[in-house]
Amino acid sequence: MSSNGQTNGAIYRPYSIRDKVALITGASAGIGEACAWRFADAGCRLVLVARRTQRLAALKGAILAHYPDARIHCVTLDVRKTKALTKLPGSLPKEFADIDILVNNAGLALGVDATDEADLSNAQQMLETNVLAVVALTKVVSAGMKKRNSGHIINISSVAAHESYARGGVYCATKHAVDALTTAALHDFVDTDIRVTAISPGAVQTEFSIVRFGGDTKKADDVYAGIDPLTAADIADNVLYAATRPPHVQVTEITTFATYQCSAKGLARVKL
């Protein structure tokens, strides 16, 4: 028997997070929605945060139809509303008040402007959503984690956190910031039992590109032409893996590419 309770040579079983409270932002679609399903399957109590009330309600109904005993609290909130965001933990029902797992997932890219052509309104929205919201929610949620000396902060980052590319300057800057915030948090919480993880996907086919191209589905589809892209469920698997390691294990980062991808723009396109 090893010192951490695992039998040497035995099957390594995930650490149970049943009854833990998981708060997921951007939960109404894409990676956030997929995470909601995976954490529901793991038996977590869910706090689902997103802007679209009807999408949240539909997701809650679908999860409850599949997992009738699931406990779900939905919050309609735009994470750009910083004051409301910072009040969120204190407004939760008692059953959901002690947040064990924070998934900072809400994020977006807008446009493909060159640096010298940057639309400042789009830039502000990306900075507020992708960076300031992560700062604000991490600040208020980690306060409770520190009191309990337990918790896990999981930031959905991107391969764009590690490399920049043409016509993606502001988005890449925001994800570089998420990477920096994650690394700084690792240092800040090193003397606690709080774990910190960055999940950095490559090409994932969700609403991401549709939003980036202002609803132009043709341009969005072209991003993934000739490859078999990652899915939201693939990234939710990464998130759940990090969350279900034993308490003495801290997965600091997972970077995942689609097959036929070697970098943000390094794609070998083939006929499928």
Exposure class string for 18-46: b at 16+ Cβ within 10 A, else e: eebbbbbbbbbbbbbbbbbbbbbebebbb
- CA distances to 41, 51, 90 from 55, rounded to whole Å, are 19, 9, 24
- DSSP structure class, residue 132: I
Residue 67 · residue 40 · CB < 8 Å: yes
Catalytic residue among 67, 171, 224, 241: 171
Q: What are phi and psi of 243, to 5 degrees?
A: -75, -20
User: How far is Cα 196 from Cα 183, in angstroms, rounded to an integer?
Assistant: 8
Residue 125 · residue 80 · CB < 8 Å: yes
User: How far is Cα 224 from Cα 210, in angstroms, rounded to an integer?
Assistant: 12
Residues 6+ apart with CB under 8 A from 170: 113, 118, 122, 123, 126, 127
175 is known as an active-site residue:
yes
165 is known as an active-site residue:
no
Catalytic residues: 171, 175
